[in-house]
Amino acid sequence: MINKLAMNSFSGDQSFKFILLSSAAFILMLVAGIVITLYYYSSLSLSTFGLEFITGSTWDPVSGEYGILPFLIGTLLTSIIALVISFPLSLIITIFIGEYFTTGMPNTLMRGAVELLAGIPSIIYGFWGLFVLVPIVREFQILFDIAPYGVGIFTSAIVLAIMIIPYSASIGYEVIGLVPKELKEAAYSLGATRYEVIKNVTLSYSGSGITAGVLLSFGRALGETMAVTMVIGNSNLLPGSIFGPGNTMASLIANEFTEAANELYLSALFETGLILFIVTAVINILGKIIIKKFVSGTK
């Protein structure tokens, strides 16, 4: 290992090293500042409600009662349904790009489409969802004799799923691109068909990488705000069904933050942010650790 920060008699080196170290210190302080700020602003809510903040199902600013169970459930439901919808689709795209068409026109087109879709800002997906998806869902609800809200948990899960597909597909083809060629060739030389190689070599070898991709996509879905807030119906009650309106933690903050007229209300919203932050940070770090292990395992 080369220690490139080795001392040198020129003072320029000392100051440069100092500047680099201060940028590192800055980022550590920033993250510490984030945690401390969220905690500080949450402290009133934390001390007032304790655990009931999480288990309570009433969110009523008028009576000063704050429980985020409806939003926790809403967040988990939208994200999990979105994952269930997007996982097979992004896996299919992954296999298309990563196995069948690794070069050539189909590859360029499909990758281009994926990158194009990944570039569309979430607010626009929400806008589209509101004007196109909501009426369609409403038609179906009338058809199946369900209360025709149009908006709701399921609708936002679909929008989320659409947004996640390009993201998880791009992780996907990076991951399966790391599967060693020799392994696949060994299987082919034993007479395996392509399908068998994909199933028994590519996918089973990259299992942990794909798991990490799912985790990272999940983290994305949990924190997504704008697309969801436009189509979920923003109901602060416990969701009655996945086809009815609900709300998520991120969307709750977006909707109510500017209205938070008193300290406890604001504090409750900050605690919601704190919880969201912790959950996404844990999921992200976990995902990154798994990916790192996977990548170093392929070398």
65 forms bridges with which residues in the sheet? 60
Which residue number, 77 or 222, has a Cβ lying nearer to another protein? 222
Question: Are 45 and 66 in contact, with CB atoms under 8 Å apart?
Answer: yes
What is the closest distance, in whole angstroms, from the C-beta atom of residue 191 to another protein in the complex? Answer: 6
Q: Which is nearer to another protein, 108 or 241 (CB)?
A: 108
- Which amino acid is residue 132, in one-letter code? V
Q: How far is the CB of 218 from another protein (least distance, A)?
A: 11
CB of 51 to another protein, least distance (A): 21
Six token digits for residue 287: 């995902």
* Structure token pair of residue 219: 């983290």
Q: Is the dihedral of CA 140, 144, 150, 155 positive or negative?
A: negative
CA distances from 168 to 27, 89, 185, 199, 287 (A): 28, 10, 26, 19, 12
Helix, strand, or coil here: 151? coil
Pair 68, 53: CB distance under 8 Å: yes
- Residue 204 or 241 with smaller CB distance to another protein: 204
Q: Could you tell me where the beta strands, DSSP code E, fall in 61-211?
A: 65-66
**Under a CB-based contact definition with an 8 Å cutoff, are residues 184 and 106 in contact?**
no
DSSP-derived letter for residue 58 is -
The candidate with the shortest Cα–Cα distance to 230, out of 150, 119, 142, 112, is: 150
CB of 221 to another protein, least distance (A): 10
Give the total residue count for the chain.
Answer: 299
To the nearest whole angstrom, how small is the minimum distance from the Cβ of residue 276 to another protein? 6
Structure tokens at 123: 């607010």
Nearer to another protein, 146 or 192 (CB): 192
Nearer to another protein, 10 or 144 (CB): 10
Phi, psi for 48 (deg, rounded to 5): -75, -45
Measured from the CB atom, the residue of 107 and 146 that comes closer to another protein is: 107
Q: How far is the CB of 170 from another protein (least distance, A)?
A: 13
Task: Kindly state the smallest distance separating residue 277's Cβ from another protein, in Å.
Answer: 5
